[in-house]
C-alpha cells in the first residue's frame, strides 16, 4: 500500500492555533515555511497571509566561531524575556548542508533560553541552496513576528555570503568580536565591519577585561572612520564591551539597540529599510527563478560552463564569449 498524500494543515486553523500561543503549531508552521515542496509553499503562503501583519524588531548577529555568540544570545535573550518580551532565535547557516549538522544543534547551546516560555529557539534549516535558505529564514522571521514575537534574533556563523543575507533581512546588524592582544588580532572578515550598526566586544570579564577594553578602543577608533548611514545619530555605529557571564554591559547593549531602532523609526528610515528589503527580496527571487529556469536548459548550461572555463583560461574575452553564447540561442 502506498502512503496517502498528506492533505496538509488548514492554514486558517493553524493561524488561529499560532495566535493562541500554541508552540507546536508554530513549530509545524516553521517546518511548512521551510519546506521546498510546492504544495507546502502554497499552504505556507496562505498561512502567512492569514496571520495579521505585525512588525517586531529583527536583529542580525554575527561573529566568528569562539566569539561567544551562543552565550551572548542566552544572556541577551533572557534579559529580553525578563522584560516580558517574546524572543525568537533563528539561524542562517549555509554550511549546515555540508556538515549535515546545525549551528543551533539540539538547542543545548542555549539551554535556559530554549526552556523559556517567552522564547522560541529554532535550529537552522539544512538547505543546500544559499538563496533558498535566505528566503526561508526571511519568511520564518515574518512568521514569528506575526505570531507575536517582539524580537527576532537571526544568527549567522559568517560563512560565505550569509552575513550579507542576514543584514538584508534585519533592522539592526550586530557584530560580535572577541578581546585580543595586539599580536593575536585575527581581524574581522572584510566587508563585515561596514555592515555593523553596533559592535560588541564580548568576554569583558576576569583576566580578559583589559584586553577587551583595548579591543574596544581599537574598534571604536576604526568605526569613527566610517561615514554613518544617512539619518543615523552621530556616533553610529557604536562599539561597546560586555560580559555574557557577569551580565555587565548586556542591558546597555540592548539600550543602544533600542535607541537606534527608535531613532530610525522616528526619522522613517526603519520603515524605508523594510520596504527596500522586501522589494529586494522579491526582485532577487524573481531573478533567481528566471535563471534557474534557464539553467534547467541543459544545452544552454553546458555551453555557458564551457565558455566560462575558456574565459577563465584567457582563451576568449568575456564580451566575445557572451556574444558567441547568445549567437546560437536560447
Binding status of residue 218 toward a second copy by CB under 8 A: yes
User: Would you say 302 or 312 has its CB closer to a second copy?
Assistant: 312
Handedness of CA 16, 20, 25, 27 (dihedral sign): positive
Look at phi and psi of residue 155 and say left if phi exceeds 0, alpha if psi is from -120 to 50, else beta: beta
Question: Which cell numbers hold the place of 313?
Answer: 583560461
Pick the binder of a second copy from 5, 190, 230, 329 (CB under 8 A).
Answer: 190
User: Would you say 84 or 314 has its CB closer to a second copy?
Assistant: 314
Q: Are 35 and 41 in contact (CB under 8 A)?
A: yes
Question: Of 92, 170, 90, which is closest to residue 133 (Cα–Cα)?
Answer: 92
Binding status of residue 292 toward a second copy by CB under 8 A: no
What is the 8-class DSSP label of residue 147?
T
Name the one residue in this structure whose C-alpha cell is 561597546.
240
What gap in Å lies between CA 319 and CA 244, rounded to an integer?
A: 53
Part in contact with a second copy (CB under 8 A); list of ranges 20-28, 78-86, 148-156, 268-276: 268-276
The three-state secondary structure class of 319 is helix
Pick the binder of a second copy from 2, 319, 328, 329 (CB under 8 A).
Answer: 319
Binding status of residue 302 toward a second copy by CB under 8 A: no
**Contact track, a second copy, 51-90, x by CB under 8 A:** --x-------------------------------------
Binding status of residue 289 toward a second copy by CB under 8 A: yes
What gap in Å lies between CA 26 and CA 43, rounded to an integer?
A: 14
**Contact track, a second copy, 140-169, x by CB under 8 A:** --x---------------------------
Q: How many residues line the site for a second copy (CB under 8 A)?
A: 63
Part in contact with a second copy (CB under 8 A); list of ranges 67-75, 118-126, 136-144, 253-261: 136-144
The three-state secondary structure class of 168 is coil
User: Would you say 78 or 142 has its CB closer to a second copy?
Assistant: 142
Count of Cβ atoms closer than 10 Å to residue 47 Cβ:
24
Nearest distance, CB of residue 3 and a second copy, angstroms = 26
Binding status of residue 282 toward a second copy by CB under 8 A: yes
Angle ∠(84,89,90) on CA atoms, nearest 5: 155
Q: Are 223 and 256 in contact (CB under 8 A)?
A: no
Q: Are 247 and 216 in contact (CB under 8 A)?
A: no
Binding status of residue 206 toward a second copy by CB under 8 A: no
Which residues in this chain contact a second copy in the complex, by CB under 8 A? Answer: 41-42, 44-45, 48-49, 53, 135, 138-139, 142, 185-191, 193-195, 218-219, 221-222, 224-229, 274-276, 278-279, 281-283, 285-287, 289-291, 294, 304, 307-308, 311-314, 316-323, 325-326
Amino acid at each position: 500500500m502506498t502512503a496517502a498524500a498528506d492533505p496538509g494543515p488548514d492554514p486558517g486553523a493553524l493561524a488561529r492555533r499560532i495566535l493562541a500561543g500554541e508552540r507546536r503549531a508554530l513549530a509545524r508552521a516553521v517546518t511548512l515555511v521551510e519546506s521546498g515542496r510546492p504544495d507546502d509553499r502554497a499552504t505556507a503562503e496562505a498561512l502567512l497571509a492569514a496571520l495579521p501583519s505585525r512588525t517586531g524588531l529583527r536583529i542580525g548577529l554575527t561573529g566568528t566561531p569562539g566569539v561567544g555568540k551562543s552565550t551572548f544570545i542566552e544572556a541577551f535573550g533572557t534579559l529580553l524575556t525578563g522584560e516580558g518580551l517574546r524572543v525568537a532565535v533563528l539561524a542562517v547557516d549555509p554550511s549546515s548542508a555540508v556538515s549535515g549538522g546545525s549551528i543551533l544543534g539540539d538547542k543545548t547551546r542555549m539551554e535556559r533560553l530554549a526552556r523559556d516560555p517567552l522564547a522560541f529557539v529554532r535550529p537552522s534549516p539544512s538547505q543546500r541552496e544559499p538563496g533558498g535558505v535566505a528566503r526561508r529564514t526571511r519568511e520564518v522571521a515574518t512568521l514569528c513576528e506575526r505570531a507575536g514575537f517582539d524580537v527576532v534574533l537571526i544568527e549567522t556563523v559568517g560563512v560565505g555570503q550569509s552575513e550579507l543575507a542576514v543584514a538584508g533581512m534585519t533592522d539592526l546588524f550586530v557584530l560580535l568580536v572577541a578581546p585580543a592582544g595586539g599580536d593575536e588580532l585575527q581581524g574581522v572578515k572584510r566587508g563585515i565591519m561596514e555592515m555593523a550598526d553596533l559592535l560588541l566586544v564580548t568576554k569583558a570579564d576576569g583576566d580578559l577585561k583589559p584586553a577587551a577594553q583595548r579591543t574596544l578602543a581599537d574598534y571604536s577608533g576604526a568605526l569613527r572612520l566610517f561615514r554613518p548611514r544617512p539619518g543615523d545619530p552621530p556616533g553610529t555605529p557604536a562599539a561597546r564591551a560586555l560580559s555574557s557571564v557577569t551580565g555587565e554591559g548586556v542591558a546597555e547593549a540592548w539600550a543602544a539597540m533600542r535607541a537606534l531602532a527608535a531613532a530610525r523609526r522616528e526619522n522613517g528610515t526603519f520603515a524605508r529599510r523594510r520596504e527596500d528589503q522586501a522589494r529586494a527580496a522579491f526582485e532577487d527571487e524573481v531573478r533567481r527563478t528566471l535563471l534557474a529556469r534557464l539553467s534547467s536548459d541543459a544545452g544552454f548550461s553546458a555551453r555557458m560552463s564551457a565558455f566560462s572555463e575558456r574565459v577563465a583560461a584567457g582563451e576568449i574575452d568575456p564580451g566575445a564569449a557572451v556574444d558567441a553564447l547568445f549567437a546560437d540561442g536560447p
